[in-house]
């Protein structure tokens, strides 16, 4: 099964081109508590175009992160990139038994997947009665080439862990949006909210209606571009440029000559994504709010600048805002990194399905 099932607390493990972030959540009253957290830089040249090419190096970084987090769990939830997944809602007769359903889904899957089925991992989830025919069910089919799963699983196993759940990043992000409801008008009910998650090299723009994603767009843009511009402008190594970006100490011309143009690019990317959303279907309306997430969201004042550019209230998204945090996770800076933890949190929440 692509998605898998779980019996214990799962570590949410987000593996990207720039960093490896893991978080462990446990239930606490009606909410959650951050039990463990750690982040490690992704080893150079170990990931190429979102594919893991050096599982041993990535596995060693995961191992270090797990050790620093103090987590005792050895089971993780990971995600493949949305570009690597094929998703399709298909219809199935509601009178099928479980085994019959699986067989019929596989038969239909062959029509939509442009690879031999022996090279594919797929899973499905029954979404409910079809709006067009009460005798049919809407079924969400998700498939990917098995090698996409195997590469990530190999890195996890190299760290001495087991990948119990393999999700898709877009689904993990949607899952995590429940943790942003405390920032939304009316808790997100009857609201249309845009969530922009700026990663290192890729950004995801999603629009939620009643807390369900109705539109998503991925595009190549992220904080790595700012790091590389710092590197070029000041003759620093990539590592030193990344450190300077986070810790400061750059020359006085940094803001006007490097940072401000990058922020302009960020606001233009959001404005363009809104235009794509509004043009994507009849009856589309401007979102009521924008939540800005990812590492770039920590740039001082960036949410206000985006708001003034697009004319929509915006604020920095904080999925940990209502959570308690263990002293160990607090010491590792989980609050400071919170806005970059949407995918990791969405994966960790699979513990509670």
**pLDDT band for position 281 (50/70/90)?**
confident
**Mean per-residue pLDDT of the chain:** 92
Question: Would you say residue 212 has pLDDT above 70?
Answer: yes
- Mean pLDDT over 214-221 rounds to 91
pLDDT in tens, 72-112: 999 999 999 888 888 888 999 999 888 888 888 888 888 88
pLDDT in tens, 300-314: 999 999 999 999 999
pLDDT at 21: 96
pLDDT at 1: 46
pLDDT at 111: 87
Q: Using the 8-state DSSP alphabet, how is residue 43 labeled?
A: P
pLDDT at 268: 96
Residue 16 φ/ψ, nearest 5 degrees: -125, 175
Q: Can you tell me the distance from the alpha carbon of 32 to that of 234, in angstroms, rounded to the nearest whole number?
A: 43
Q: Which of 152, 150, 13 is nearest to 76 (CA)?
A: 13
Residue 53 Cα to chain centre, angstroms = 21
Phi-psi region of 351 (alpha: psi -120 to 50; beta: other; left: phi over 0): alpha
pLDDT at 6: 46
- Identify which has the larger pLDDT, 265 or 243: 265
Q: Can you tell me the distance from the alpha carbon of 332 to that of 39, in angstroms, rounded to the nearest whole number?
A: 8
**pLDDT band for position 2 (50/70/90)?**
low
Contact 205, 196 (CB under 8 A): yes
**Residue percentage of the chain with pLDDT more than 90:** 70
Q: Can you tell me the distance from the alpha carbon of 185 to that of 193, in angstroms, rounded to the nearest whole number?
A: 9
- Identify which has the larger pLDDT, 127 or 8: 127
Take residue 97 and report the two structure tokens written for it: 């038994």
**pLDDT band for position 70 (50/70/90)?**
very high
Contact 43, 35 (CB under 8 A): no
Residue recorded with tokens 């050790």: 67
Q: Which of 83, 82, 69, 64 is nearest to 12 (CA)?
A: 69
DSSP 124-159: EEEEEE-SS-TTEEEEEEEEEEHHHHHHHHHHHHHT
Q: Can you tell me the distance from the alpha carbon of 343 to that of 197, in angstroms, rounded to the nearest whole number?
A: 9
**pLDDT band for position 248 (50/70/90)?**
confident
Domains and CATH numbers, the chain: 11-82+147-175+334-352 (3.30.420.40), 84-146 (3.30.1490.300), 181-324 (3.30.420.40)
For the whole prediction, is pTM greater than 0.95?
A: no
Question: Would you say residue 115 has pLDDT above 70?
Answer: yes
Question: Would you say residue 298 has pLDDT above 80?
Answer: yes
- Mean pLDDT over 140-164 rounds to 94
**Residue percentage of the chain with pLDDT more than 70:** 98
- Mean pLDDT over 5-27 rounds to 87
- Mean pLDDT over 177-204 rounds to 93
**pLDDT band for position 255 (50/70/90)?**
very high
């Amino acid at each position: 099964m692509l998605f898998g099932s779980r019996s214990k607390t799962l570590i949410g493990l987000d593996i990207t081109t720039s960093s490896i972030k893991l978080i462990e959540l446990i239930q606490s009253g009606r909410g959650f508590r951050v039990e463990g957290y750690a982040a490690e830089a992704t080893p150079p040249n170990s990931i190429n175009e979102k594919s893991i090419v050096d599982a041993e190096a990535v596995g060693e970084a995961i191992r270090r992160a797990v050790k620093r987090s103090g987590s005792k769990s050895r089971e993780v939830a990971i995600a493949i990139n949305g570009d690597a997944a094929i998703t399709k809602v298909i219809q199935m007769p509601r009178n099928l038994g479980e085994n019959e359903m699986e067989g019929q889904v596989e038969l239909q899957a062959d029509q939509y997947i442009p690879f031999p089925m022996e090279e594919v991992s797929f899973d499905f989830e029954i979404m409910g009665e079809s709006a067009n025919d009460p005798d049919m069910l809407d079924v969400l089919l998700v498939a990917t080439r098995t090698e996409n799963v195997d590469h990530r699983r190999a890195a996890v196993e190299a760290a001495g862990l087991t990948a119990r759940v393999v999700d898709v990043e877009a689904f993990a992000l949607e899952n995590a949006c429940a943790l942003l409801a405390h920032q939304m008008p009316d808790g997100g009910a009857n609201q249309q909210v845009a969530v922009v998650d700026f990663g290192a090299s890729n950004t995801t723009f999603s629009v939620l209606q009643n807390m369900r994603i109705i539109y998503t767009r991925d595009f190549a843009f992220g904080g790595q571009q700012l790091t590389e511009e710092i590197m070029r402008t000041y003759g620093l190594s990539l590592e030193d440029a990344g450190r300077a970006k986070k810790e400061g100490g750059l020359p006085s011309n940094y803001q006007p000559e490097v940072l401000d143009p990058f922020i302009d690019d960020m606001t233009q990317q959001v404005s363009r994504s809104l235009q794509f959303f509004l043009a994507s279907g009849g009856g589309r309306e401007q979102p009521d709010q924008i939540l800005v997430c990812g590492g770039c969201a920590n740039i001082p004042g960036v949410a206000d600048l985006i708001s003034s550019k697009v004319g929509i209230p915006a604020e920095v998204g904080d999925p940990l805002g209502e959570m308690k945090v263990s002293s160990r996770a607090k010491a590792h800076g989980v609050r400071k990194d919170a806005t970059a933890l949407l995918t990791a949190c969405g994966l960790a929440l699979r513990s509670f399905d």
